[in-house]
Amino acid sequence: MRAIPALALSAACWLVAAPAPAQTTSPNSRPLALSAESVLLLDTQGRVLYAKKPAEDHAPASLVKLMTLYLACEALEAGRAQWEDPVLVSHRAALTPRYRMGLKTGETAPLRTLLEGVAIASANDAATAVAEHLGGTEDAFVAAMNAKGEELGLTHTHFSNPHGLPDPAQRSTAEDMARLTQRLLEDYPSSRPLLGGATFVYRGRVYSRRIPLFQDPGGVQALKTGFTREAGYNLAISAWKSGQHFVLIVLGSRTRSLSFRDAKTVLRYGFYETGLEVAPPPPTGRRGKPTLPPRRPSERRSRAGLPGAG
């Protein structure tokens, strides 16, 4: 039986014993201005630094792929799979709706490449191919996902597929996604370069993702995005700063850019709370009174995107 890391254990104890506050406030005593519907930020010990409706039921979109990666990393560590195993792409996998890598029926691809496709390109066809390779069938793999979720204490999560495409029964919360993210990175460090990757190559094509948070000095080193029209824009983030580890879940931001802005705002708040950074004083007017920042044009959730999980 594998030992549970102290960080994961402390996080699990908190999630069971100490309900998160409905919402905390920013360093200047005003609520943080976020577009996200649900947010949760945890520190190294799994303590809540910021919470906004962390137990609210939500569509996880492609954050589902975190569990697909968990089971894949578990199989790799147990020796039931190898990184370079050739994976045969079924007709079902090839037809999985977008977003996709463009896998073709009957071809083979290394398991490593498919896992990069899952983590970096959020490729739904790659997730299906991985599920069938490891589980025998997609349905069997989904059953294993739910069994593992129960084992990890994801009490408000139900998986219906390995990729996150819309399904009314597929639900989760920021609390559960935070626990899953922590356990994935702590139990299987090999997942960290997958979730921290920016590019990979398949059949001569370079797949890349442009994530502003990777370039920001906020310590973000692992990240998974998710989007459907129902879910909005979701993020699972792991950041390391001055030896401290932070896990952040953002669910239901109105646009992709707002999801990144929400994440940056909440991470910065966490750095202030833990003393890693000094909070700037609020801006003041000519009479010394605090002034509010200028209003930004409202940003509405994009309806032009495809329904596929991303």
Instruction: Name the residues annotated as catalytic.
Output: 62, 65, 122
Q: Residue written as tokens 């492609």?
A: 62
The maximal CA–CA distance of the chain, rounded, in angstroms, is 72
User: HSE (CB half, 13 Å, CA atoms) of 215?
Assistant: 5
CA distances from 94 to 102, 199, 231 (A): 7, 22, 24
End-to-end Cα separation, the chain, in angstroms: 34
Using CA atoms, how far apart are residues 302 and 310, in angstroms rounded to an integer? 14
Q: Are 308 and 97 in contact (CB under 8 A)?
A: yes
The H or E element spanning position 179 is helix 174-187
Q: Are 166 and 62 in contact (CB under 8 A)?
A: no
Smallest CA-to-CA distance from 83 within 108, 115, 105, 107 is with 115
